[in-house]
Amino acid sequence: MTTTLAFHHRFEPASGPGRPPLLLLHGTGGDENDLIPLGRALAPGAALLSPRGPVLENGMPRFFRRLSEGVFDEADLRRRTGELADFIEESRTAYGLAAPIAVGFSNGANIAAALLQLRPEVLAGAILIRAMVPLAEPPGADLAGKPVLILSGSLDPIVPGENSGRLAAQLERAGARVEHRSLPTGHGLSQGDLTLARDWIAAHAA
């Protein structure tokens, strides 16, 4: 189900009470369909909002431009973060949603982290899977106890452990309630990510 909004997206309405809506943000090369099965597994019955990244890199959708692996175009990131935040607000009105919890993977996790730092009011919390520090000098956001789960891979060749740890520290300093877990895996999604994320939603966002 979709309606005409700024981002091409999929929307699945809630089929049961008591679950916060999830904002699903795919990684590089994914689309609006990629994380729907993950969302269903993490929070059965929750409303799912899954936009497609509007930027193409060699034909692969992303949410913002990068200059090279791990080097972001921060001006584009800031602009795209504002556009995504506006889309979230439009979607909440169009679909009658509460503020969602972002579930982002890789590039999607990075823009979810930027949303927390630039437009924190649009999210109720976030699960950041394989996220990096998105902004070299983040603004002084007030995250006021907002729950955040960061899931890193100790064998990840793309995201150094120091980088994800620095992101956790930034969000904690801004007031977020951060849980940072490192799994013995690489950059891809694992069963461990699914289990930890599902349990976190049940404990923090029911």
What is the tally of helices (H) and strands (E) in the chain? 5, 11
Dump pLDDT digits (tens) for 22-31: 999 999 999 9
Helices 107-118, 161-173: crossing angle, 10 deg rounding:
20
Q: Is residue 2 scored above 60 in pLDDT? A: no
pLDDT score of 116: 98
Dump pLDDT digits (tens) for 46-55: 999 999 999 9
Rounded distance between C-alpha atoms, residue 53 and residue 102, angstroms: 14
Catalytic site residue 26?
no
Q: Is residue 189 scored above 60 in pLDDT? A: yes
Dump pLDDT digits (tens) for 57-75: 999 999 999 888 778 999 9
Between residues 109 and 140, the one the model is more confident about: 109
pLDDT band for position 205 (cuts 50, 70, 90): low
Tokens coding 124: 């109720």
Segment 136-156 shows an average pLDDT of 93
- 9, 50, 152, 156: which one is catalytic? 156
Query: Percent of the chain beyond pLDDT 70?
Result: 97
Rounded distance between C-alpha atoms, residue 27 and residue 29, angstroms: 6
CB 166 within 8 Å of CB 117: no
- 182, 187, 190, 204: which one is catalytic? 187
Q: Which of 121, 196, 183, 116 is nearest to 152 (CA)?
A: 183
Contacts of 58 (CB under 8 A, 6+ apart): none
The single-letter DSSP state of residue 7 is S
- 50, 91, 106, 152: which one is catalytic? 106
Looking at CATH, the fold of the domain delimited by 9-204 is given as Rossmann fold (3.40.50)
In sequence order, the β-bridge partners of residue 41 are none
Rounded distance between C-alpha atoms, residue 10 and residue 95, angstroms: 12
pLDDT score of 47: 97
- Locate the domains of the chain by residue range: 9-204
The SS3 of residue 171 is helix
What pTM value is reported for the model? 0.95
Catalytic site residue 204?
no
Segment 142-157 shows an average pLDDT of 95
| Rg, the chain, Cα only | 15
pLDDT band for position 19 (cuts 50, 70, 90): confident
Q: What average pLDDT does the chain have?
A: 93
Catalytic site residue 182?
no
Segments of the chain assigned E as strands: 9-12, 22-25, 48-51, 55-57, 60-62, 66-68, 71-72, 101-105, 125-129, 147-153, 177-183
